[in-house]
Amino acid sequence: MNLRERVYVALGSNMGDRDAFLAKAREALAKLPLTTVLAESKVEETEPVGPIPQGKYLNQMILVETGLDPGRFLKLLHKIEDENGRVRGERWGPRTLDLDIVRYGTRRLRDSDLRIPHPELPNRDWWQREMDEVDVLAPKKVDNDK
């Protein structure tokens, strides 16, 4: 049996055609195996985080349901970023596309490649707003264990 978990994915872009990069990310997320998009927040513009001067970000939260494990899901997100010109340079630097796993069901994970929930969640009020928005828009989760 393949258990499906709800995953909050934060999309961000502050280089090039930001709207187009977010659109490509939404399309790619919808095509991931064993994954269904449940809801999308509105896109909002935010100030960049960190010490590096750069342009404002467009951000959006997507709620998906997936049967993929977190490590595989992260690898596929990195592939989407790479296909959209993401260069992994300096931390907090500008990027064409940034895809972050914010929450993955009720899991807590701390390894060298992935931390769930995302450690910056308490510091990013827009993520919290966007998560609240998709929670309202998404179909209610059905508990099949009853």
Joined together, the tokens standing for residue 126 give 């827009």
Task: Determine whether 86 is an active site residue.
Answer: yes
Please identify which of the residues 6, 18, 86, 124 carries the catalytic annotation. 86
Task: Determine whether 98 is an active site residue.
Answer: yes
Joined together, the tokens standing for residue 3 give 């258990």
Task: Determine whether 95 is an active site residue.
Answer: yes
Please identify which of the residues 6, 18, 95, 124 carries the catalytic annotation. 95
Please identify which of the residues 26, 72, 100, 135 carries the catalytic annotation. 100
Please identify which of the residues 18, 98, 103, 124 carries the catalytic annotation. 98
Nearest to 44 by CA among 131, 117, 136: 131
CB 61 within 8 A of CB 7: no
* Active-site residue list: 86, 95, 98, 100
